[in-house]
A = this chain, B = another copy of it.
Amino acid sequence: MRLPKTLEKISEFFRRLPGIGKKTADRLSLYLLQMPQEDLENFSQNLKQLKTTTKKCRNCLNLTEEDICPICQDEKRDQSIIMVVETPLDLLAFENGQIYEGVYHVLYGKIDPLNNIGPDDIYLKELFERIKNNIDQLKEIIIATDPDMEGEATAMYIRDKIKEIDTEEKLKITRIASGVPIGANIEFADYMTLKKSIQGREVFK
């Protein structure tokens, strides 16, 4: 004996989501029983139309319900700086901090040969096309892929390709800083992070 049929199907669906195990899925499903019917119906409606309403921005590939996303449309953003990120969640992390005034390009992944993801499997072609077409308006490309092995390899690949496009070396190509996270304990930092924190040290004014 498990849950009643409908609940069981809902729990099975939850279990397919990342990071949700059997017990959590059951707990979430049962919780839904206490929610107002109206809220469940609105949620259902949103789920149904999710994939048709949500598109990728024609310019930067960020998720949007319009052709061009609000960031690319925003005249206050500096269109001469493109930050390359792996996922829309990475973009969101920077946006939540309100620490960046340029625009983005979302790759939807990183080069990962072990998992059979090559340069053509992510939105790299679109990035290079965009840089090529706008080279006169661009000043800087910030590469903000994850500082892990695949992210580093992707960053290097992007850097080399941009250099091929930007033969006059007009563009500044930068990489986000790595080091000990703010608020963390140095004693718990790993060797590579500490090494980066020394290599990237700055004059302390």
Measured CB to CB, the residues of A under 8 A from B are: 1-7, 9-10, 13, 16-20, 23-24, 26-28, 30-33, 35, 37, 39-51, 53-54, 63-65, 70-71, 74, 87-89, 92, 95
A19 partner residues in chain B, CB cutoff 8 A = 24, 27
A17-B32, A43-B47 given; 13 more Cβ-contact pairs under 8 Å: A1-B70, A1-B95, A2-B95, A5-B53, A6-B46, A10-B46, A13-B39, A17-B28, A18-B27, A19-B27, A30-B87, A32-B47, A33-B51
Residue of B nearest to A52 (CB): B37
Q: How many angstroms between the C-alpha atoms of A54 and B89 in the bound complex?
A: 36
Q: How many angstroms between the C-alpha atoms of A20 and B28 in the bound complex?
A: 10
Known A13-B39, A35-B16, A42-B9; judge A4-B54 contact (CB<8 A): yes
A10 partner residues in chain B, CB cutoff 8 A = 43, 46-47, 50
Would you give the shortest CB distance from A79 to chain B, in whole angstroms?
15
A88 partner residues in chain B, CB cutoff 8 A = 3, 30
The number of times this chain is found in the oligomer is 2
A26 partner residues in chain B, CB cutoff 8 A = 89, 92
Q: Which of B1, B32, B44, B53 contacts A4 (CB 8 A)?
A: B53
Q: Which of B6, B41, B47, B50 contacts A54 (CB 8 A)?
A: B6
- B41 touching A48 by the CB < 8 A rule? yes
Residue of B nearest to A55 (CB): B4
A-B contact pairs, 16 of them (CB 8 A): A1-B71, A3-B63, A3-B92, A6-B50, A6-B54, A9-B43, A10-B47, A17-B31, A18-B31, A19-B24, A20-B28, A26-B92, A27-B89, A33-B63, A40-B47, A41-B48
